[in-house]
Structure 1
Amino acid sequence: MKYLGELMENQPCTWLDAARGSKKENVQQLELIAEELSENYSSYDNLIDSSNDALPDSAFLQHSDLLIDYYEKAPKELNKLLLERRNEHELSFCPYCGNPMIPDTLDHFIPKGKWPEFSIFPNNLVPQCRGCAPVKGEHYYCIENNLAMFIHPIYFNFLENFRFSMNVSLNTESNDISVVVKLKRIIETQADDQRRVIIHAEKLKIKSRIIHYCKKEFRQWKRRLANAKFDVSTALKQRLSEIPQPDIGKDWQSAFYSALLQNQEIIDYMNSLHPAENLHQQSNHAVDLDF
């Protein structure tokens, strides 16, 4: 999980100007509500800060088709901005959940289906993994907890106060692993903020997704080890050496590799999977083929 404060865009919103300057057929309709939209943008920070309050109903629902169209079928200059935010972020894992996949989609933190006025507002658009996308969906406020379900990584930095901690054990009967996942607080955090992080993780189903990921990753390592001879401990340490030490545990992969290295029984088992030497190896001849 990661803080993305560097993605914050200042007001007035240049993205709205890019939309207003387009040649889309419906640009005149957008122009009629542009000033009112801009005023709503100025209230966005307060909406996000008021995480204990449900959002007021949108005053722009009658313009939903128009506003969402500017996101889904963005004109040229606006589309450049959207693509930059979606793809040019240099993230190696999802800021919402820590999934070690490069985020390649954008989440509308305040859902565009119910609040279309924020469809192209940059501070409402967060790079996200495709695992979070269907889970988060159009959800926003939890009545049961009287709290916003999720933490906005552009506005709040306390997601950085936590790391994933795992305990991995080997089931010798099935030769599979069991995984216990916890959140480890590394920096003192206010009780309300800590509660928000727990709810955020629960609503995104992070624990079950991590366990599924770890089991899949373990099977992949077993296949690698069955096909090539190398020391798995050295390989895992090499992967971790590519990550700054303070960042280990922000994502699932580094937390998992750290947990594997802490269990010598699993390391020994994985190293026992090396292929036997083949005394009758067939010679391989490289052949160039046209295609």
Structure 2
Amino acid sequence: MLKIIKNSNTFESTLDTVLKGIKEPNLISRIKKHKPDLIKEFESYEDNTTKGNGFKIPIHNFSKRLNIDPLVVGSLRHSELSSIYSSHFVPERLDSRVIYNTILASSVEGCPYCGGIGSVKELDHFLPKSKYPQFSLLTSNLVPSCKICNQDLKKSKFAEVYEDQIIHPYNDFNIFFEDKWIDVNFNPNHEKKIEFFVSPPDSWSESDKKRADFHFKLFDLAERYSTFIAGEYLNTKQSIENLRLVHDNQFIIDCILQHVIDGAKTPNDCRRILYEALKRDLLSSINPII
């Protein structure tokens, strides 16, 4: 749930760079012929995803086994549009690899899907190219991600209704990035002692609350956040217990909690969420339950 900045290369300039690496004259000719149509597809993508309507974009099914290879844009078939990415965009020998690497490095805080706990290793097609091959080269459809989010959890999933859309790191509504919608409970009986959960603001629509919950569950953030932060939680808890022998709660907050809260760059950073919860307990109780 990290907001990241789109790559500065336009779809048209990216396509022009990719064309330099294609050797088949017939494919080059047809791509150039249908370039205006591809640009219209890009504009449709931007319009729909910025309005939360990505799920409304029609899918295109492909099956080599069943010999299903539909025309997607003009005379360009599914197999051609999807293979352009792997054959003419990704290879390191091509000029287009510079664009690939720039996008890969754009999320400096980590994987945007899991809020930065995963290290970026690859590019994910936000709308999978298996269903939306016309967007295989669209830079705003290419998301730097960790392998767990991309290969293990998201895979080639796509939404059919608004509530089942994951959060778009480039184009989605600001509430998903600027509002706090994840919180944590302390549970002494839980194996990891802490439980993260979805808690959107009351001002959100029910549809947006369901979307946040869908994203949270799809990327297994309750388990992953608890595992990621478990060691730090236990160490911080012990430090608080030691300090409480000689200092008041406000001193402890100022000494070991507030700098972490202030240093977090997003409201849903799991470390910030944890430290805010510790702070709440210290402020609300003489003997906090942590």
- Aligned to 2:184, the other structure's residue is in SS state strand
Given the alignment of the two structures, is residue 136 of structure 1 paired with residue 157 of structure 2, yes or no? no
Change (3 A) 1:240 1:212: same
Give the aligned partner of residue 16 of structure 1. Answer: 15
CA deviation after TM superposition for structure 1 residue 74, in Å: 5.3
Change (3 A) 1:251 1:243: closer
Worse-matched range after superposition: 60-69 or 13-22: 60-69
Map 1:224-243; keep pairs closer than 5 Å. 234-243=255-264
Q: What runs of 5+ residues in structure 1 fail to find an aligned partner?
A: 271-291
Change (3 A) 1:187 1:269: closer
TM-score w.r.t. the length of structure 1 is 0.70
Give the aligned partner of residue 57 of structure 1. Answer: 60
- Aligned to 1:162, the other structure's residue is in SS state coil
- Aligned to 1:106, the other structure's residue is in SS state strand
Aligned residues: 253
Give the aligned partner of residue 86 of structure 2. Answer: 68
Give the aligned partner of residue 276 of structure 2. Answer: 258
Change (3 A) 1:12 1:72: closer
Worse-matched range after superposition: 202-211 or 179-188: 179-188
Per-residue Cα deviation, 1:243-276 (whole angstroms, up to 9, x for no partner)? 35xx3x42212212333455569x9999xxxxxx
Change (3 A) 1:28 1:257: farther
CA contact (8 A) 2:3 2:170 kept: yes
CA contact (8 A) 1:99 1:252 kept: no
C-alpha root-mean-square deviation of aligned residues, in Å? 3.7
> Partners of 1:260 and 1:27 in 2: how far apart?
64
CA deviation after TM superposition for structure 1 residue 186, in Å: 4.7
Q: Aligned match of 2:98 in 52, 74, 80?
A: 80
Change (3 A) 1:243 1:199: closer
Given the alignment of the two structures, is residue 189 of structure 1 paired with residue 204 of structure 2, yes or no? yes
Give the aligned partner of residue 2 of structure 1. Answer: 2
Per-residue Cα deviation, 1:215-246 (whole angstroms, up to 9, x for no partner)? 35446x48x98xxx9999744444334235xx
TM-score w.r.t. the length of structure 2 is 0.70
CA contact (8 A) 1:54 1:147 kept: no
> Partners of 2:18 and 2:268 in 1: how far apart?
36
Per-residue Cα deviation, 1:186-219 (whole angstroms, up to 9, x for no partner)? 5833332222222222222222222232335446
CA deviation after TM superposition for structure 1 residue 159, in Å: 0.8
CA deviation after TM superposition for structure 1 residue 7, in Å: 1.3
Q: What runs of 5+ residues in structure 2 fail to find an aligned partner?
A: 62-71, 245-251
Worse-matched range after superposition: 130-139 or 200-209: 200-209
Change (3 A) 1:215 1:191: same
Name the aligned partner's letter for residue 151 of structure 1.
I
- Aligned to 1:114, the other structure's residue is in SS state coil
Name the aligned partner's letter for residue 60 of structure 2.
D
Give the aligned partner of residue 276 of structure 1. Answer: none
- Aligned to 1:131, the other structure's residue is in SS state helix
CA contact (8 A) 2:17 2:95 kept: yes
Map 1:1-291; keep pairs closer than 5 Å. 1-4=1-4, 6-7=5-6, 13-22=12-21, 24-26=22-24, 29-34=27-32, 35=35, 36-48=37-49, 49=51, 50-53=53-56, 55-57=58-60, 59=72, 60-63=77-80, 64-73=82-91, 75-90=93-108, 92-133=109-150, 134-142=152-160, 147-156=163-172, 157-160=174-177, 161-171=179-189, 177-186=192-201, 188-218=203-233, 221=235, 234-243=255-264, 247=266, 249-262=267-280
CA deviation after TM superposition for structure 1 residue 80, in Å: 1.2
Name the aligned partner's letter for residue 21 of structure 1.
K
Give the aligned partner of residue 286 of structure 1. Answer: none
4+ runs deviating over 6 angstroms: 229-233, 267-270
CA contact (8 A) 2:88 2:94 kept: no
CA deviation after TM superposition for structure 1 residue 54, in Å: 6.1
CA contact (8 A) 2:257 2:279 kept: yes
> Partners of 1:240 and 1:88 in 2: how far apart?
24
